[in-house]
Amino acid sequence: MTANNFPPSTTIRACIALCFVAGLSAATFAKSSATESKRPPNIIFILADDLGYGDLGCYGQKRIKTPNLDRMAAEGIRFTQCYAGSTVCAPSRSALMTGQHTGHTRVRGNERHPLKPEDVTVAELLKATGYRTGLIGKWGLGEEGTTGHPNLQGFDEFFGYLNQRHAHNYYPTFLWRNNQRVKLRNEVPNEDKEGAGVATRRVEYSHDSFAQEALGFVQRNHAHRFFLYLAFTLPHANNEAKTEGMEIPSDAPYSAEPWPQAQKNKAAMITRLDADVGKLLQKLKALGVDRDTIVFFSSDNGPHKEGGNDPQFSESSGPLRGIKRDMYEGGIRVPMIVRWPGRIKPGTTSDHVWAFWDFLPTAAEIAEAKAHKTIDGVSVFPTLLGKKQSPHRFLYWEFHEKGTKQAVRMGDWKGVRLAPAAPLELYNLEKDVAEKENVAQRHPKIVSRIEAYLKTARSESEHWKIRSPSEKDAKTQANAGN
């Protein structure tokens, strides 16, 4: 597959996006009641930041309260084998937006290389079909003045952080509204040029602003079709604050718990996130568009250990091995809940295997549009409606911090390569979801097939070369904390 091979002209690019629009037969949708709207639904994708597979009650969490997300799962479908685009922020979001895995997508690491005009995002595709598009929260795919800016990548409205380091700071001195800086009342004496730092005067908590902006976006646009990408930053740490980086206005309702302070704060972050998801779902009901809106909820990668957080304290990875930056399941398998009243059967649990690059073709089918051919994703719309569909032949990841790591999932088999010259590790996820037993020596034919995918699943990139751990990259190392 050859990715990113469109002509660079912005005008041609717009035409390409329009060409993707092709009406699908109404038969692709399940029959709905006569009172329901016949137009394609609104689409909301809510993305948490560094939320682990085991951090929600509906995924087995015992300490942290998440009643609204648990209810969302009870009212929709909960996936047990959904994967993030990567094990860190920016490439995971690039896969989500472009429908390409990290062997093809433009942004394959946290090093700053913006999306280009020829990259077609899900926002562009939906905008071309008549959706009003909004991004609230963290972007990470293009800075001010670059071709990767959200307003140049299909979003009519943008409010939030442009880059990952700025997003560390929950009390920044400014946020972006489209191309303008919005000044906040916080004071950050050690603020760097990107806006990162630690506030000494804490007045405006960025997450709360995002939650209010989301309600406002839905209020303004509920009479039209809309796509909202709500990229919250909870429960990421403010890395610049070291062991006190779990920034939250209050540790309630965990104040009286005999836990380390960082663990109280992390739990409060997740419960705050949960409460704001609940407010958004309630807003949809109040506006009468609940049944006309499909809502996705997930996380960009596994749980972190920055800011004083201990991911083992609350078993944030659940039964999985590894955390953020690992190619094991705990680094890339994430919660995924999808709710659409009247269309998705309530209380469903699915073990269908899919990944972030499947969102673009799924959104295209939901919107009665046709996705372009230079993607790796496959629509999971049939699965959402309770129909069976063929699985991926394989899923592929590559990760470029401290050398290149790769992983492939093929059926129940998972291959992990921790360095270009390292032997392939092989795990049978059906029998060994915790990836405790490397069975590579027992299955040479399976190893051979996965080796072939490792060689052929990727395209060459000037910025993302296959490197050994000894080949240091100063920029990559500088961004490793993102």
Q: What is the pLDDT of residues 187-245, one digit of tens each?
A: 999 999 999 999 999 999 999 999 999 999 999 999 999 999 999 999 999 999 999 99
Q: What is the sign of the dihedral through the CA atoms of 7, 9, 14 and 15?
A: negative
Cis ω before 235 (30° cut-off from 0): yes
- The model's pLDDT over 374-385, given as tens digits with 9 standing for 90+, comes to 999 999 999 999
Single-letter code of the amino acid located at 81: Q
CA distances (Å), origin 457, targets 55, 100, 101, 409, 416 = 32, 11, 9, 12, 14
Strands 425-428 and 132-138: unpaired
pLDDT confidence tier of residue 441, bands split at 50, 70 and 90: very high
pLDDT score, position 78: 98
> What token pair was written down for 449?
């097939």
Residue 401, CB half-sphere, CA atoms under 13 Å: how many? 20
Asked if residue 30 has pLDDT above 50, the reply is no
pLDDT score, position 32: 40
Query: 242 or 16: which carries more pLDDT confidence?
Result: 242
Q: Where in the chain is the domain with CATH 3.30.1120.10?
A: 396-478
Q: Where in the chain is the domain with CATH 3.40.720.10?
A: 37-392
Question: 221, 379, 377, 210: which is closest to 293 by C-alpha?
Answer: 221
> What token pair was written down for 132?
């009003």
Distance from C-alpha of 468 to C-alpha of 310, rounded to nearest angstrom: 29
- The model's pLDDT over 266-298, given as tens digits with 9 standing for 90+, comes to 999 999 999 999 999 999 999 999 999 999 999
Global model pTM greater than 0.75: yes
Neighbours of 212 (CB within 10 A): 14
pLDDT score, position 343: 98
pLDDT confidence tier of residue 37, bands split at 50, 70 and 90: low
In CATH, what class is 37-392? alpha beta
Distance from C-alpha of 51 to C-alpha of 116, rounded to nearest angstrom: 29
Distance from C-alpha of 277 to C-alpha of 124, rounded to nearest angstrom: 25
For 138-159, letters b (16+ CB in 10 Å) and e give bbbbbbeeebbbbebbbbbbbb
Q: How far apart are the first and last CA of the chain?
A: 30
Angle between helices 89-98 and 359-366 (to 10 degrees): 30
Distance from C-alpha of 382 to C-alpha of 377, rounded to nearest angstrom: 14
CA 309, chain centre distance (Å): 21
Residue 103, CB half-sphere, CA atoms under 13 Å: how many? 21
CATH 3.30.750.210 applies to domain 396-478: no
pLDDT score, position 27: 37
Location of structure tokens 């598009």: 133
CA distances (Å), origin 231, targets 50, 111, 265, 321 = 11, 19, 20, 25
Average pLDDT, the chain: 92
Distance from C-alpha of 357 to C-alpha of 96, rounded to nearest angstrom: 5
Distance from C-alpha of 448 to C-alpha of 442, rounded to nearest angstrom: 12
Tell me what the mean pLDDT of segment 333-347 comes to: 98
Asked if residue 475 has pLDDT above 60, the reply is no
Tell me what the mean pLDDT of segment 251-276 comes to: 98
Query: 7 or 118: which carries more pLDDT confidence?
Result: 118
pLDDT score, position 471: 74
pLDDT score, position 473: 56
Distance from C-alpha of 291 to C-alpha of 81, rounded to nearest angstrom: 26
Bridge partners, 226 (sequence order): 132
Tell me what the mean pLDDT of segment 31-47 comes to: 73
Asked if residue 36 has pLDDT above 50, the reply is no
The answer to whether 329 and 320 have CB atoms below 8 angstroms apart is: yes
Q: Is 470 exposed, middle or buried (0-12, 13-18, 19+ CB in 10 A)?
A: exposed
Asked if residue 23 has pLDDT above 90, the reply is no
Tell me what the mean pLDDT of segment 139-164 comes to: 98
Tell me what the mean pLDDT of segment 305-323 comes to: 98
DSSP 441: G
pLDDT score, position 38: 78
